[in-house]
Amino acid sequence: GVAPAVQAQTPAIRWRLASSFPKALDTIYGGAEVFARKIKEMSGGRFEISVHAAGELMPALGVVDGVQSGTTEIAHTAPYYFFGKNEAFAIGGAIPFGMNSRQMTAWMNHGHGRKLVNEFYAAYNIISFQGGNTGAQMGGWYRKEIKSPADIKGLKFRVGGFAGRVIERMGGVPQNIPGGEIYQALEKGTIDAAEWIGPYDDQKLGLGKVAPFYHYPGWWEGGLEVSFYVNNKAYEALPAEYKAMIDAASGYAHVDMQAKYDAFNPTALKQIAASGVKVLPFPTTVLQASYKAAMEVYAELDQKNPQWKKIYDDYRKFQRDQLFWFRVNEARFDGFMQSIKGF
């Protein structure tokens, strides 16, 4: 086939992207840069998206309002930040004892996930796209070792997003503190513990000096899916080529972020352990008590919030099937590999 001799050139378009993350996090902030760079390359520079760190255009937690109003065309964020607007936001990111990275991607891309969250987001003028995953996060940094569920009672714990609801139910006191202020708060004892992301990102904060117990896993984020939120009118105004570029670049950025976390976390964790930090699993009793608290929170939400219930019912069913499958095949393979002495 031969292309028509004269064909309309795709238009020059400039968008601004508001990230909820600071530039220092080359992993999660970097996901938006990977996305924007690829779109610029594919469009020959005609579709350009400038990436702005949290606070540059609007506060980290202002990006849903920003996209909803059309102040910015696109944001890159963690959906659970917005659970205060509606708890259903959290399901699109990560919920306590939720799905792991691959399972979440499967639900979004080949279950009903993307369809269900986009129906919900419509009231906020948002269309969402996959924007990366952190993998299972660590459980955070503690001034004292966590030995039983009783140690959560009264714990002043810096924890991001929706997980605070479960921490509260366990008697803990969730704290909302920006990343840059965590070190000082732990040093002074204003807080007792803080979670951030995983070894590679956490290492930059140097928290081991002031909170030397590093517990795992972060049961509230078994696989945080990050999202691109696009204003629906801005999206609909795009030519078909650019719509497809957003879709493809979001997939490209999605796989890139998880790969980066997986590649960079092992070395960071080794260095953290070598620095004298005690890297310890949460006791099973703590996981069990946390799971029980989470299920109580979900049972209440099922009664109170129909949008939560609609999405969570589908999520839960999908998760049940995923656990069945991963238990059989992936777990047997991974478990054997992890058991090999002196690999």
Distance of closest approach, residue 214 Cβ to a second copy, in angstroms:
10
Of 211 and 269, CB closest to a second copy: 269
CA atoms within 13 A on the CB side of 266: 4
Of 55 and 251, CB closest to a second copy: 251
Question: What is the pairing mode between strands 13-19 and 47-52?
Answer: parallel
**Residues 23 to 52: which contact a second copy by CB under 8 A?**
38, 41-44, 46, 48
C-alpha 323: how far from chain center: 20
How far apart are the C-alpha atoms of 67 and 210, rounded to whole Å?
Answer: 38
Residue position matching structure tokens 């996090």: 25
Instruction: Please give the single-letter amino acid code of residue 310.
Output: K
Region from 52-60, 159-167, 227-235, 316-324 binding a second copy, contact rule CB under 8 A: 316-324
Distance of closest approach, residue 220 Cβ to a second copy, in angstroms:
10
How far apart are the C-alpha atoms of 312 and 310, rounded to whole Å?
Answer: 6
Of 188 and 341, CB closest to a second copy: 341
Applying CB under 8 A, among 53, 106, 173, 234 the residue interacting with a second copy is 106
Residues binding a second copy: what is the number (CB under 8 A)?
Answer: 94
Please state the length of the chain. 343
Applying CB under 8 A, among 83, 208, 265, 308 the residue interacting with a second copy is 265
How far apart are the C-alpha atoms of 58 and 54, rounded to whole Å?
Answer: 7
| Residue 285: Cβ within 10 Å count | 12
**Under a CB-based contact definition with an 8 Å cutoff, are residues 113 and 237 in contact?**
no
Applying CB under 8 A, among 53, 177, 248, 297 the residue interacting with a second copy is 248
Contacts of 129 (CB under 8 A, 6+ apart): 227, 228, 230, 246, 247, 250
From residue 255, alpha-carbon distances to 127, 212, 343 in Å are: 20, 32, 27
Told to check if 267 binds a second copy by CB under 8 A, we report yes
Applying CB under 8 A, among 219, 228, 298, 315 the residue interacting with a second copy is 219
**Residues 138 to 157: which contact a second copy by CB under 8 A?**
138
Told to check if 279 binds a second copy by CB under 8 A, we report yes
Told to check if 287 binds a second copy by CB under 8 A, we report yes
Region from 165-173, 185-193, 246-254, 298-306 binding a second copy, contact rule CB under 8 A: 246-254
Of 82 and 93, CB closest to a second copy: 93
Told to check if 283 binds a second copy by CB under 8 A, we report no
